[in-house]
Amino acid sequence: MNPQSMSKNSLPATLLLVVAVVALAAIPLLLNPGSEFGGADAAAEEAITEVRPEYEPWFEPLWAPPGSETESLLFALQAGLGCGVIGYFFGLKRGERKNKS
Amino acid sequence: MFGKRARSIGLALIVFLLGAQVVWAKPPQMHIMEGFLPVEWALLWFALALPFWALGLRRITVLTREKPELRLMLGLVAAFVFVLSALKLPSVTGSSSHPTGTGLGAILFGPLVMSVLGSIVLLFQALLIAHGGLTTLGANAFSMAIVGPFVAYGIWKLLKGRLPTALTVFLAAACADLFTYVVTSAQLALAFPDSSGGFVASFVKFGGIFAVTQIPLAISEGILTVLVFKALQTSASAELKTLGLTPGA
């Protein structure tokens, strides 16, 4: 299959893949109605203390977000910055292609 | 022949996984938290990661000097890791975890480049979000930025041309994601062996928690990587050619 035919016929396939990703994230929400899907920071601690109860972490984070709101801000910022770069890349490439033709 | 045995093993596995879910409704996050590896283990993983960082830096320097037109694409694969590690996706176990995004860059630029780019993302998360940690950076880099990319690259090299490109990309990225977690489990098990069952029991314990949560996320990561790869085939065929990856071949 040559690249041209692949890109032309791939819109339904692309949509299907996007739907699959969304479904993979959405179905767990339906399967676990009682769960909070919480951040698991405390749980790693639990698992480790189960194996070795006397273990004490010997280093603390230099800085930690004061709460989950600020933390989600930083995660959103991280994703937003990354998407900006990705969008810039594909936008630029699209412009280059248009200029060529 | 071994139907009965296989069935009972399967049953035992299901029971174990259900049990693991009950005990740990919230599995550990993928990155080992700050201070949660004993000093000697933290140092060991730093020592193991160092050569990869050195080689990766050299590779990036050479690459950007010889093929400056690829710089933007280098930014793209770093951005992909950046975005995917910020996405905490819900999983079937009722907890959240995030993909790694390292497979794409490993396929395009090779695993050494990703050992640097992935570690930069880990450093950012350790410093600004208190996710992962500075003392555990060596260990986390080894799992996510070194083993993951090498697995992706190996699968890509092995299956390229034998399977459809999209399927190969999917498998490479999904396995990189899964193996990152396998290594994290092993690192935890090595540092915290079970008092009676030793490393193996501990590995099964940590790994069992990760496996169920991570499989759907690995599938998501595989699909997302395929989507970007397909977009690159239409938008950046010149760059793919420069990298020796002819689109559609």
Give this complex's ipTM. 0.86
Chain B CB within 8 Å of residue A15 CB: no
Q: How large is the average pLDDT for residues A32-59?
A: 75
pLDDT recorded at residue B102:
97
Size of interface A-B (CB pairs under 8 A): 187
Token look-up 């479904």 returns A23
Rounded to the nearest angstrom, the minimum Cα separation between B223 and chain A is 6
B129 compared with A1, residue with greater pLDDT: B129
> A45 and B231 in contact by Cβ < 8 A?
no
Write out residues 20-79 of A within 8 Å (CB-CB) of B. 20-21, 24-25, 27-29, 31-32, 34-35, 37-48, 51-52, 55, 57-65, 71, 74-76, 78-79
Closest by alpha carbon to B24, among A69, A51, A64, A23? A51
Lowest-confidence range among B111-125, B135-149, B178-192? B178-192
pTM of structure: 0.86
From chain A, the residues in CB contact with B128 under 8 A are 63, 74
pLDDT tens across A75-95, in order? 999 999 999 999 999 999 999
Chain B CB within 8 Å of residue A19 CB: no
Looking at chain B, the whole-number percentage of residues with pLDDT higher than 70 is 87
Asked if B27 and B213 count as a contact pair (C-beta separation under 8 A), the reply is yes
From chain A, the residues in CB contact with B219 under 8 A are 24
The 10 Å Cβ neighbour count of residue B23 is 13
pLDDT tens across A12-21, in order? 999 999 999 9
What are the residues facing B195 on neighbouring strands?
none
> B105: Cβ–Cβ under 8 A, 6 or more apart, which residues?
B77, B78, B80, B81, B113, B114, B117, B118, B149
Residue B1 scores a pLDDT above 50: no
Q: What is the DSSP letter of B140?
A: H
Looking at chain B, the whole-number percentage of residues with pLDDT higher than 90 is 67
pLDDT recorded at residue B225:
98
